[in-house]
Structure 1
Amino acid sequence: MAPTLVSAAVGALLAAALLGHAFDRRGVAVVVAAAVFPSLDAAASLVVPGATNALLHAVWAPVLVGGLLYWDTVRRPAGASTLRDRFGRRGVRVAWVALASFVVAGIGSALFAGEGAALLYPLEDARYVVRGRLVFSTREGVVQTFLALGAEGPGVLPLERAGGAVADPVASWINPDGRPGLDPGAAREFRFVDGGWQLVIVAAAAATLAVRFRRRGGGGRGGESAATDGEVSR
């Protein structure tokens, strides 16, 4: 599984890019929490066999939550949305971005750059990972292996089996062997980043949030000053 810090960084970038008018400390915190939430299935693996990259990485939770959000915020009559009535337009925006963060940063970090995710757990035990490449060749032009529409191969996405959730459990710092049971004496290693590209993502997320909060704070003070000046002049 991808380091939790990297998932949080991807969630922070999504928050900075998508929150819009809902961008503030609380909104960012919710989106980042959604990004790291799937990693908690590593703790569940102490009790549930094969839970890591499976229990909270399956498609069922985002499909259910997405369906409820769509029904409440889109399909219900105007003025009947529970989420909008309680938290306003800001709450709706934060909820949708948090769902995107859960899928992209939480599940995607394992599906595209990790040991894989058991997308259909517990109906299917297999973990899947997407591997592909996108290159430009002076002889062959653009070459990509992510989409295989109408061609022989693994299908639309190059999903490969990365083992079974129960038969080949994923190790984590909480549960080093990935199997039920707590071993206090086991060697544990908390990974912050696993490579240079992950460090770049973390640094980019930190810089982006710093700039966004600085600009938002400056804009807010400027707006307050302008309003005060207007009141004085009147």
Structure 2
Amino acid sequence: MAPTLVNVAFGVALGLALLGAAFDRRSILFVALAAALPDLDAVASLVVHGATNALLHNLWLPGVVAVALYWDTRYREESWLADRHGWYGVRVAWVSLASFVVAGIGVDLFSPSGVNLLYPVHDRFYAVVGILLFSTQDGLVQSFVEVGEGLLWLSSPGTTADYHVETWVNPTPGTGLERGVDRELHLVETGWQLVVVAAALVAVAIRLWEDR
């Protein structure tokens, strides 16, 4: 899974692009927290076996929230959210939901660790990994989707029963809170991730300075 800091950086970039007039310190904080929220399932893995990248990385939770939000803001005669927070609250809610799905879940889906998209209804991790290139001899070559078993023929590292996503909270299956275990909290793992984090920090700092 991508480091949480990278998820947050993607969330911040998404917020800068989508918040529009609703952008301020509070709204960008909500969007950033939404991007980090899915990674809390690593803490849940201390009591729920295989919960990392499954419990909060599936599409059911944001799906339910999206339906409830759409119903409240589009079909109710008086929207609960709009009545209390106006257009600002509605905009921040939708962008935060987008951040949760795209930056929180999507970024981890496009990594070797993968996510359990349909857990617990369908217990299987999926990872979108591969290459896309144009060769003068072979033409267009891609290895993201290949004929095989599984949802959309995506690569699958396993299920919650036989696959463990390593985190600093739970490095190995059943580690729990044992002492003497090597725990590594990865902030960034590659150069491009560092660029994304730095760019997000600079961009939000400039936007906040402009809105003073």
Fold conserved between structures, TM > 0.5: yes
Superposed CA RMSD in Å reads 2.1
Kept in 1, the 8 Å contact 2:110–2:127? The answer is yes
Q: Whole-Å Cα distance in 1 between the matches of residues 62 and 175 of structure 2?
A: 26
Change (3 A) 1:187 1:213: same
Q: Determine the structure 2 residue equivalent to 1:65.
A: 65
Deviation at 1:104, TM superposition (A): 0.7
Read off the aligned partner of 2:167 and give its amino acid letter: S
Kept in 1, the 8 Å contact 2:169–2:176? The answer is no
Change (3 A) 1:191 1:119: same
Q: Determine the structure 2 residue equivalent to 1:87.
A: 85
Deviation at 1:124, TM superposition (A): 2.4
Q: Determine the structure 2 residue equivalent to 1:197.
A: 192
Q: Whole-Å Cα distance in 2 between the matches of residues 115 and 211 of structure 1?
A: 34
Q: Whole-Å Cα distance in 2 between the matches of residues 114 and 27 of structure 1?
A: 31
- Structure 1: 5+ residue stretches without partners: 218-234
Q: Determine the structure 2 residue equivalent to 1:17.
A: 17
Change (3 A) 1:106 1:203: same
Deviation at 1:167, TM superposition (A): 1.3
Kept in 2, the 8 Å contact 1:127–1:161? The answer is yes
- Structure 2: 5+ residue stretches without partners: none
Q: Whole-Å Cα distance in 2 between the matches of residues 32 and 24 of structure 1?
A: 12
Read off the aligned partner of 1:63 and give its amino acid letter: G
Q: Whole-Å Cα distance in 1 between the matches of residues 139 and 70 of structure 2?
A: 41
Q: Determine the structure 1 residue equivalent to 2:26.
A: 26
Change (3 A) 1:9 1:49: same
> Does 2:162 align with 1:164?
no
Kept in 1, the 8 Å contact 2:112–2:129? The answer is no
Instruction: Report SS of the residue matched to 2:56.
Output: coil
Deviation at 1:211, TM superposition (A): 1.5
Change (3 A) 1:181 1:146: closer
Percent sequence identity is: 54
Q: Whole-Å Cα distance in 1 between the matches of residues 148 and 50 of structure 2?
A: 28
Deviation at 1:74, TM superposition (A): 1.5
How many residues are matched?
Answer: 212
Instruction: Report SS of the residue matched to 2:157.
Output: strand
Change (3 A) 1:74 1:188: same
Deviation at 1:157, TM superposition (A): 5.3
Change (3 A) 1:142 1:215: farther
Kept in 1, the 8 Å contact 2:22–2:92? The answer is yes
TM-score between both structures, scaled by the size of structure 2? 0.91
Change (3 A) 1:170 1:39: same
Deviation at 1:153, TM superposition (A): 6.0
Q: Whole-Å Cα distance in 2 between the matches of residues 86 and 35 of structure 1?
A: 24
Read off the aligned partner of 1:176 and give its amino acid letter: P
Provide Cα deviations, 1:7-55, integer angstroms capped at 9, x if missing partner: 0100110111110011000000000000000000000000000000000
Q: Whole-Å Cα distance in 2 between the matches of residues 126 and 156 of structure 1?
A: 9
Q: Determine the structure 1 residue equivalent to 2:2.
A: 2
Q: Whole-Å Cα distance in 1 between the matches of residues 151 and 178 of structure 2?
A: 42
Q: Determine the structure 1 residue equivalent to 2:203.
A: 208
